[in-house]
């Protein structure tokens, strides 16, 4: 932020400190609805070297001494002290001109060019997300992995990293033994062709019930999977058919979600390499055989049952953990990543801890570059037809409900493609509800809350973006060549400018903890500020100079709003 650089160099001269030492000590002040606040604050605590040696009163005295040292000038118009801080109010016309110019000039890069990100090395990052199971419909539980992984990949990419998005399909394992046997018992080729995923799901449910009651069915499933592992042509042909039909269906759904992948991988890719992993574990003396004939790795070294990880069945076939080890080793060879992020539900926390630990004891130091981003469970998501089993039901429900909402609102514009708009607005609603809290939290799903047009919802964000876009359409861009900063000194304008000043800090916070809620909270506040300004700062019937300045302000808001929404995986709509 240009204004911040100017301000920091001024402070560094007075404090006799290099400007880079002040980067983390100065921050924009969050706006307050109750009172006008300063623009920047300097944290005295972070300036003092041995924080623990300083009690609060000492910090307060230091803050006051520091404030006395500093003088107002053409940049700073007011200096005061807060709780352990020195607060600065910037010359209002300078604030207006610098912030708006930078938003317009930087465009989609606004906030990302900040000094907070300077010196960050460009990294090779692998993000594994979504990862549904082949031949089972895309379960709603995969929705969270898909949208969270997409957000993380978007953010890392925006920061200039080289990101590889991997969809690691559950396309191997005992479920294929069950499915292969189930299809031979209950499958119909014509149903498979006309409605593949629905039919495969029905077969899978039915064979699971049968296997629980009939040992012969369970044994047959076990034998079918063994045939797959040994490369039996007939078994593989059926498996490949299930896989291909499923991937076609997934790709169609990802397109609706606005999500893409660089690589469709799967557990099946590693069935041979997982045997190499077992040999490596054995050669290092880490593999132990149990009385049942399975192979395990004792991660505790002292027989602690909670630290024992099974890596091979008694018949020699591989397990999920073995294939994950093989996949991680293969990706390191292929991508030489600096970071690999796995996005799955919190139920897999122990699994990944064990996988990373095994990689370490196998001698792969890069295991510390692997990270699991866990998330909580969505509860109570139902459609009008009952419990949700499949994501597509949710997408269809969103579109239907949103179309009905839009039809009932008198201000709804005539749309070229109402179905598409309804889906984009509905997806925004779903994503914002999901991203508002901590990712690790479970949350109760509510259709009513999702589709509120007022309050902190995705519908409100889309409505704000469409409304601001409509202003530009109505009044044209003739006003946008230049503007008079003196025309934007109302409290509503200043609050927006102060908020725009903070965008880089919010992006930085999300980049540190990979939580989208910081960006969501920021965008909702920006939309509320824009709504207040839209009601009070009229463009129609205002003098041209005033109208032009206000249009400039609203254009900047729309630009930052769109940038933030795209990072979250939302496509901003221009009409609704």
CA angle 353, 246, 209 (to 5 degrees): 75
Characterize the bridge pairing of strands 370-375 and 124-128.
unpaired
Characterize the bridge pairing of strands 40-43 and 85-90.
antiparallel
Radius of gyration, CA atoms only, the chain? 28
Is 54 designated active site?
no
Of 330, 378, 328, give the one whose Cα is nearest residue 351: 328
Dist. CA 173–CA 164, nearest whole Å? 25
Contacts 24+ apart (CB under 8 A), 415-420: 415/575, 415/576
DSSP 506-559: HHHHHHHH--THHHHHHHHHHHHHHHHHHHHS--TTS-HHHHHHHHHHHHHHHH
User: Residue 270: how many CA atoms within 13 Å on its side-chain side?
Assistant: 25
Assess contact for 63 and 86: CB atoms under 8 A.
Answer: yes
Considering the candidates 136, 156, 222, 372, report the single residue annotated as catalytic.
136
Q: Quick one: 207 exposed, middle or buried, by C-beta within 10 A (0-12, 13-18, 19+)?
A: buried
Considering the candidates 89, 137, 142, 518, report the single residue annotated as catalytic.
142
What are the residue ranges of helices labelled H in 188-305?
Answer: 189-194, 196-213, 215-229, 233-257, 273-283
> Helix, strand, coil proportions of the chain in percent (round to 5)?
60, 10, 30
Dist. CA 235–CA 225, nearest whole Å? 8
Alpha carbon separation from 270 to 40, 184, 480 (Å, rounded): 53, 26, 57
The angle, 0 to 180 degrees and rounded to 10, between the axes of the packed helices 391-408 and 418-435 is: 110
Is 142 designated active site?
yes
What does the DSSP 8-state code read for residue 454? S
Assess contact for 434 and 144: CB atoms under 8 A.
Answer: yes
Considering the candidates 113, 123, 139, 241, report the single residue annotated as catalytic.
139
Assess contact for 114 and 21: CB atoms under 8 A.
Answer: no
Q: In sequence order, what are the residues at sequence separation of 6 or more whose Cβ sits closer than 8 angstroms to the Cβ of residue 45?
A: 51, 54, 59, 84
What does the DSSP 8-state code read for residue 170? B
Which residues share a beta bridge with 35? none
Dist. CA 217–CA 495, nearest whole Å? 68
Indicate the SS3 state at residue 460. Answer: helix
Residues with a known catalytic role: 136, 139, 142
């Amino acid at each position: 932020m240009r204004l911040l650089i100017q301000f920091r160099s001024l402070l560094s001269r007075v404090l006799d400190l290099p400007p880079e030492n002040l980067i983390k000590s100065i921050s924009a002040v969050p706006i307050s609805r109750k009172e006008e606040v300063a623009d920047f604050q300097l944290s005295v605590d972070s300036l003092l070297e041995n924080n623990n040696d300083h009690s609060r009163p000492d910090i307060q005295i230091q803050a006051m001494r520091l404030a006395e040292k500093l003088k107002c000038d053409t940049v700073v118009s007011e200096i005061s002290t807060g709780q352990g801080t020195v607060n600065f109010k910037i010359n209002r016309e300078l604030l207006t001109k610098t912030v708006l110019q930078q938003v317009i000039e930087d465009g989609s890069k606004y906030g990302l060019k900040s000094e907070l990100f300077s010196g960050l090395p460009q990294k090779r990052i692998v993000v594994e997300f979504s990862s549904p199971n082949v031949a089972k419909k895309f379960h709603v539980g995969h929705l969270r992995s898909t949208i969270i992984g997409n957000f993380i990949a978007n953010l890392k990419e925006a920061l200039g990293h080289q990101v590889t998005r991997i969809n690691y399909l559950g396309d191997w394992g005992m479920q294929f033994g069950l499915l292969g046997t189930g299809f031979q018992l209950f499958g119909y080729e014509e149903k498979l062709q006309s409605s593949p995923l629905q039919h495969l799901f029905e077969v899978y449910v039915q064979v699971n019930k049968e296997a629980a009651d009939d040992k012969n069915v369970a044994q047959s499933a076990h034998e079918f999977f063994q045939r797959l592992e040994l490369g039996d042509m007939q078994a593989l042909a059926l498996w490949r058919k299930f896989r291909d039909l499923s991937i076609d269906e997934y790709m169609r759904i990802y397109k609706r979600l606005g999500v893409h992948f660089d690589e469709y991988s799967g557990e099946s890719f590693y069935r041979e390499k997982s045997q190499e992993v077992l040999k490596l574990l054995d050669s290092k003396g880490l593999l132990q055989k149990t009385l049942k004939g399975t192979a395990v790795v004792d991660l505790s070294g002292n027989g602690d049952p909670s630290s024992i990880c099974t890596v091979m069945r008694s018949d020699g076939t591989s397990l999920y953990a073995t294939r994950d080890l093989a996949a991680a080793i293969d990706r390191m060879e292929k991508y030489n990543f600096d970071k690999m992020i796995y996005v799955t539900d919190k139920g897999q926390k122990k699994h990944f801890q064990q996988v990373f630990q095994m990689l370490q004891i196998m001698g792969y130091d890069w295991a510390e570059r692997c990270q699991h981003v866990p998330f909580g469970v969505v509860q109570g998501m139902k459609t009008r037809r009952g419990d949700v089993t499949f994501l597509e039901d949710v997408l269809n429900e969103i579109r239907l409900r949103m179309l009905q909402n839009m039809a009932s609102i008198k201000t709804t514009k005539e749309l070229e493609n109402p179905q598409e708009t309804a889906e984009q607005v509905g997806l925004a609603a779903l994503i914002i509800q999901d991203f508002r809290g901590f990712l690790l939290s479970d949350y109760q799903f509510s259709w009513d809350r999702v589709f509120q047009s007022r309050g902190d919802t995705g519908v409100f964000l889309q409505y704000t973006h469409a409304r601001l876009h409509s202003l530009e359409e109505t009044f044209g861009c003739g006003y946008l060549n230049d503007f008079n900063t003196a025309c934007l000194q109302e409290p509503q304008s200043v609050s927006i400018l102060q908020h725009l000043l903070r965008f880089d800090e919010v992006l930085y916070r999300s980049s540190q903890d990979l939580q989208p809620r910081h960006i969501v909270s920021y965008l909702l506040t920006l939309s509320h500020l824009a709504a207040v300004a839209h009601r009070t700062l009229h463009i129609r019937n205002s003098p041209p100079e005033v109208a032009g300045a206000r249009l400039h302000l609203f254009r900047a808001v729309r630009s930052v709003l769109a940038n933030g929404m795209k990072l979250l995986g939302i496509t901003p709509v221009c009409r609704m």
